[in-house]
Amino acid sequence: MLKYFFIVFFLALSYSNAQVTSNSWFDTVTLLRHVEALSSDAFEGRKTGTKGALKARNYIINQFYSLKVKPFGKTFEQPFTFKKGKKEYKGANILGYIKGTSNPHKFIVISAHYDHEGIINGEIYNGADDNASGLSALFSFAEYFRKYPPKHSVILAAFDAEEMGMKGSAYFVNSLSSYPKEVIVNLNIDMISRSDKNELYVVGSNLNKRFRNAVCCIKSNKVKLIAGHDGYDNKDSWVYSSDHANFHKNGIPFLYFGVEDHEDYHEPTDDFENIHPEFYAEAVNVIFSVFNKIDSH
């Protein structure tokens, strides 16, 4: 117990040395702690269908439970199978649900994939930025909703098998057609914890103009939120680069939050030590601001 206390104490100390600013919406030490845990070697790179992925699933379900998030279906898990080459894989999305206070029949899906590349040639690809960073942000939203319940209903979707062709989100979006539910927007979060230029991109506001105001004029000293990478500028398009693609293909508006690729992208060095805590915490803050603007209308 004493040992545990000292570990927590030193963790808190090292994070405060990183000068992570506090805010009233979520606890930044907790935000970082989840990234560190999920991108540790114990999770073996979280590849779909592996022991590490199962461990990640249980971790997510435990967090949802303790943050009083309800399952979206009968249970938190939405299992699915798919074939890649000759191999059949078993995946599972983890879906949490928070009922809206004034618009419960309209849904905002906040998503982040939890799978990553696993172990390749004996090296563990820990995927700290990609995408433990997005997943931990889902827990921050859950924490926030306990104090400030959303007006629209929210689905917190931790998708599986993004790295294998966005299979989990495809399955989820298809499953929606069997319910009379209206998803007004998907906010997809994938890689938000580091940027040498302090730039966070938001993709999709040029395709879905009703959300232009939501991403405009957000004040932050540390994070420059830039609308782009959606085919309306001279940058490469990220419209199909992550799970939001499956929402877009089915006519559901999306906003995707992410940083530009970096030297550790899809490398075994995408580790917790290489994220930028201050930028990351502020990026989550910025996404909260966008959410609140959408939810308040």
* Angle subtended at Cα 264 by Cα 258 and Cα 268, rounded to the nearest 5 degrees: 120
The dihedral built from the CA positions of residue 258, 259, 262 and 268, taken in this order, carries a sign that is negative
3-state secondary structure of 93: strand
Binding segment (CB under 5 A) for Zn ion, from list 30-38, 136-144, 187-195, 220-228:
187-195
Q: 20: which DSSP letter?
A: P
Residues that bind Zn ion (rule: CB under 5 A) add up to a total of 3
C-alpha 78 chain-centroid distance? 17
Instruction: Give yes or no for residue 186 binding Zn ion (CB under 5 A).
Output: no
The whole-angstrom separation of Cα 106 and Cα 100 is 8
* Shortest distance in whole angstroms from residue 220 CB to Zn ion: 23
Instruction: Give yes or no for residue 190 binding Zn ion (CB under 5 A).
Output: yes
Binding segment (CB under 5 A) for Zn ion, from list 30-38, 57-65, 74-82, 182-190:
182-190
* Shortest distance in whole angstroms from residue 128 CB to Zn ion: 11
Q: 165: which DSSP letter?
A: T
Binding segment (CB under 5 A) for Zn ion, from list 10-18, 183-191, 264-272, 275-283:
183-191
Instruction: Give yes or no for residue 131 binding Zn ion (CB under 5 A).
Output: yes
Instruction: Give yes or no for residue 270 binding Zn ion (CB under 5 A).
Output: no
Bridge partners of residue 155, in order along the sequence:
97, 109
The reply to whether omega before 126 is within 30° of 0 (cis) is no
Query: Residue type for 53, please?
Result: A
Instruction: Give yes or no for residue 129 binding Zn ion (CB under 5 A).
Output: no
Instruction: Give yes or no for residue 195 binding Zn ion (CB under 5 A).
Output: no
Q: Give 160 or 190: the residue with its C-beta nearer to Zn ion.
A: 190
- Cβ atoms < 10 Å from Cβ of 130: 30
**In this chain, which of 130, 143, 160, 295 binds Zn ion, going by CB under 5 A?**
130
* Shortest distance in whole angstroms from residue 261 CB to Zn ion: 10
| Chain residues in the site for Zn ion (CB under 5 A) | 130-131, 190
